[in-house]
Amino acid sequence: MEIPFHKYQGTGNDFVMIDNRGLSIPRDSVSLFAALCHRHLGVGADGVILLQEKEGFDFEMVYANADGRESTMCGNGGRCIVRFAEACGIVRERYHFLAVDGMHEAMAYPDAVSLKMQHTAFPVRDGEAWVLNTGSPHWVRFTDGVGQLDMKKEGAAVRYSDTYNKEGINVNFAEWLGDKLFMRTYERGVEDETLSCGTGVTAAALSLAAELHWPAGAHRISVDTPGGTLRVHFTLEDDGSYRDIWLTGPARHVYSGTIRPAGLY
């Protein structure tokens, strides 16, 4: 059997997209997904995303990390699947789709896709870092010289620490440049630095509001990653929670092809 696939990327965070509305591929195909994501022996990607039908929604997003295991929410993947849905003939003014963390809204523009994230509680302190869940768990530390960090070493040290080893956590180092953020992310499930992480960018933006003691109200911030720039809009409520969180940036088709699973092993 040959599997048609489509490669998409959002600020360098890349995904193998599969139209699985016929349910030909089980969502627990761990070894297949890991093989597809292999940078040398497969297509190469940070994750695999299945587009499936779901009653009451425009579609369902099923996401697996590069290790092949179904994972928590992926922000850039959520933006990319909206662009993929367009290519599959699912065209809406405003999308409503189901992901692992619940329903998401999204809007597609010519040069960007905006994804509404889930409401998020105020981050908690872990030493000099902030910890919060933006659909996926994140650890965020603000520091200087982020561009010079050995992200694989520094990220793994936190991800495999006694505190986070069992469940894993995504590790972000961010630098406030006065008018925007620059950040880098080590992702669990990929176990390496990725060029961008949508839930990580969201986590860093929300953590910055806590770090700098921003007042309640609407805020927007631009976030540079090694793979490109994303924008985060959100409202900080009087009770410290975050609402109306939107993640916006490019989501692009790279190429399409077919692959024989037997050839991956």
Number of H helices, E strands in the chain: 4, 17
Q: In sequence order, what DSSP letters do the residues of 97-148 get, joined into one string?
A: EEETTEEEEEEE-SS-EEEEPPPBPPPEEETTEEEEESSSEEEEEE-S-GGG
Domain of 147: which CATH number?
3.10.310.10
178 and 141 in a common domain: yes
**Is residue 205 in some structural domain?**
yes
245 and 128 in a common domain: yes
**Is residue 18 in some structural domain?**
yes
**Is residue 144 in some structural domain?**
yes
- Among all residues, which ones are annotated catalytic? 74, 197
Residue 176's DSSP bridge partners are 181
Q: Whole domain around residue 243: which residue ranges?
A: 124-249
**Is residue 119 in some structural domain?**
no
162 and 102 in a common domain: no
**Is residue 117 in some structural domain?**
no
Three-class DSSP category at 237: coil
User: Checking DSSP bridges between strand 102-108 and strand 95-99, what pairing results, if any?
Assistant: antiparallel
Say what the pTM is: 0.95
**Is residue 118 in some structural domain?**
no
Query: Cα Rg for the chain, rounded, in angstroms?
Result: 18
pLDDT in tens, the chain (265 residues): 789 999 999 999 999 999 999 999 999 999 999 999 999 999 999 999 999 999 999 999 999 999 999 999 999 999 999 999 999 999 999 999 999 999 999 999 999 999 999 999 999 999 999 999 999 999 999 999 999 999 999 999 999 999 999 999 999 999 999 999 999 999 999 999 999 999 999 999 999 999 999 999 999 999 999 999 999 999 999 999 999 999 999 999 999 999 987 766 5
**Is residue 86 in some structural domain?**
yes
How many domains, in total, are found in the chain? 2
229 and 256 in a common domain: no
Cα–Cα distance between 70 and 62 in angstroms, integer? 7
139 and 73 in a common domain: no
Cα–Cα distance between 239 and 105 in angstroms, integer? 24
82 and 34 in a common domain: yes
**Phi, psi (5° rounding) for residue 201?**
-60, -45
71 and 42 in a common domain: yes
242 and 155 in a common domain: yes
Tokens 């949508």: give the residue.
Answer: 198
148 and 243 in a common domain: yes
260 and 223 in a common domain: no
**Is residue 210 in some structural domain?**
yes
160 and 230 in a common domain: yes
Exposed, middle or buried: residue 262 (CB in 10 Å: 0-12, 13-18, 19+)?
A: exposed
143 and 107 in a common domain: no
Cα–Cα distance between 257 and 98 in angstroms, integer? 26
Locate 175 and state its tokens.
């630098």
